[in-house]
Amino acid sequence: MNELIIYENKTTKIKNLITYFFIYSFLGWILETIYAFLVHGHYVNRGFLISPFCPIYGFGAIMLILLLKKSKGNYMFEFFYSAIIFTIFEYMASYILEVAFGLRWWDYTNDFLNLQGRVSLAYSIIWGVMGIFLTELLHPFIEKSVRKIKRKINVNLENIILIVLTILIIVDFTFCSIKIFTI
């Protein structure tokens, strides 16, 4: 009986993380879309995928949720930790995307104190502020909302939604990867 409860708790935690990944990937896509619209004056797909997800935001949010769980309320720690973690993650993602696909999705070459155009001081500060916003305001709201929704829907529907979204993002990633390699 205890093994079943432990298994259910682990399964629930994993499903929650997957749910958060999709929520934050979508919110990141919205953020990037608004930013690009303000800069360019029209819609620009700033992400790698065709679907409305920027996985870098989903992965980044999950990392912060897991790593900053015990530091809630310590704004200075959250700021510096978020800035450092996101900056390292952004640098690695930029490098991996460039090596894998030969393309750059962002370039901070003209920004003050940038490192190979992959990261810059200004964006590190933005990531620090966003980390505090995520851990102190946004995630508690998202977490509460997800809990409420999950109480109202059947667990099978939840599983179907997560499976469909996972398949969608895998197919999208595969399609976009193939498209880039054939250009």
6-38: string of b/e by CB count within 10 Å (b at 16+)? eeeeeeeeebeebbbbbbbbbbbbeebbeebee
Looking at residue 6, its pLDDT comes to: 53
**Helix H or strand E segment including 121:** helix 121-133
More confident residue, 73 or 52: 52
**pLDDT tier at 183, thresholds 50, 70, 90:** low
pTM of the full structure: 0.89
Residue 8 counted as domain residue: no
Mean pLDDT calculated for residue range 47-51: 87
**pLDDT tier at 1, thresholds 50, 70, 90:** very low
Residue 31 counted as domain residue: yes
Residue 4 counted as domain residue: no
Residue 93 counted as domain residue: yes
Residue 127 counted as domain residue: yes
Q: How many domains is the chain partitioned into structurally?
A: 1
Is 4 a residue whose pLDDT tops 80? no
- Summarised one tens digit per residue, pLDDT across range 96-140 is 989 988 888 889 999 999 999 999 999 999 999 999 999 999 999
Residue 170 counted as domain residue: yes
Residue 2 counted as domain residue: no
**Residue 73's domain spans which residues?**
13-181
Residue 111 counted as domain residue: yes
